[in-house]
Amino acid sequence: MQCIALHSSQSHGGQWRALSRQLPESLTLQAPDLIGYGAAPTFAQCHVAAADFRLSNELAALEQAGLQPDCGPIVLLGHSYGGALALHWARRFPQAVAALVLYEPVAFHVLPQNHAARVEISAVAAAMDTMSAADACTHFVDYWNSPGYFNALPAAAQTLMIIQQGKVTADFQALLGEPASLDDYAKLTMPVHLFSGEQSPLSSQTVAQLLANTLPNATHTRVAAGHMGPITHARIVTPLLLEALLTTQPSSV
């Protein structure tokens, strides 16, 4: 069976490299770089304004790069923005998706308008819109990690992330503006292995809980990590994701 792994914002497909080495031969993994990250086209090359960018644009770019969203059965693995994209993919092509393995999919659009979690993440997005690329990048990275995290990164990593910050703005627009409700996600009947971090911000923890309560065939596991757990706490998170992936394979494989 094929697994397609979708990374978080300000990352790239290489974040799944350690996990891919542990997969059995019966489960092949593709980890494409999403728009604006890694070796993918830059966001400017997509000719879509950040305010108009949607998850459908991201999925279309994957199709143009050679991934066929309607081929199956596939397992979708996603973290953060990649998890929200995986959910969008599953809604578009439910018959092609055998299962979902998600670590804190940031589907912010399911948050009620006046909920504290939506107010919090909307304030993050609004603040970044008023900042320079460097300050916005610092604000974004520190929100998902801890104050001072960005400034402690190597200078080369900081420079690259600042260059990519324009795509982060587009990602937020896609996540907040996706035209989908919890009722739409309630129609997804494939198995969903959903993970969330105990140390994560209110916004992503709330999204995870709402989805866990809505998706009809979901199992929800809370992990002793934060939102960036697949990267910062890989020794804890990777075995959990691997176990979930292995359970998605049919007995005939």
Task: Annotate 15-80 with DSSP letters as a single string.
Answer: GGHHHHTTS-TTSEEE-PPPTTSTTSPPGGGG---GGG--HHHHHHHHHHTT--TT--SEEEEEET
Cβ(142)–Cβ(239) below 8 Å: no
The rounded distance, in Å, linking the Cα atoms of 196 and 44 is: 32
Tell me the CATH number at 238.
3.40.50.1820
Is residue 169 a part of any domain in this protein?
Answer: yes
The rounded distance, in Å, linking the Cα atoms of 36 and 105 is: 19
Q: Judge whether residue 251 has pLDDT over 50.
A: no
Cβ(102)–Cβ(90) below 8 Å: no
The rounded percent of the chain whose pLDDT value lies above 70 is 98
The rounded distance, in Å, linking the Cα atoms of 249 and 4 is: 14
**pTM higher than the cut 0.85:** yes
Q: Judge whether residue 113 has pLDDT over 50.
A: yes
Domain range for 170: 2-247
Distances (CA, A) of 113 to 117, 188, 237: 9, 23, 31
Is residue 82 a part of any domain in this protein?
Answer: yes
Average of per-residue pLDDT across 178-182: 96
Closest CA to 181 of 67, 87, 58: 87
Q: Judge whether residue 139 has pLDDT over 70.
A: yes
Is residue 252 a part of any domain in this protein?
Answer: no
Q: What is the model's pLDDT at position 71? A: 83
Residue-wise pLDDT for 191-213, tens only, equals: 999 999 999 999 999 999 999 99
> What tokens appear for 151 in the block?
């400034």
Is residue 147 a part of any domain in this protein?
Answer: yes
Q: What is the model's pLDDT at position 250? A: 57
The rounded distance, in Å, linking the Cα atoms of 7 and 13 is: 6
Is residue 131 a part of any domain in this protein?
Answer: yes
* Count of structural domains, the chain: 1
Is residue 159 a part of any domain in this protein?
Answer: yes
Residue-wise pLDDT for 57-108, tens only, equals: 999 999 998 898 888 799 999 999 999 999 999 999 999 999 999 999 999 9
Average of per-residue pLDDT across 159-168: 96
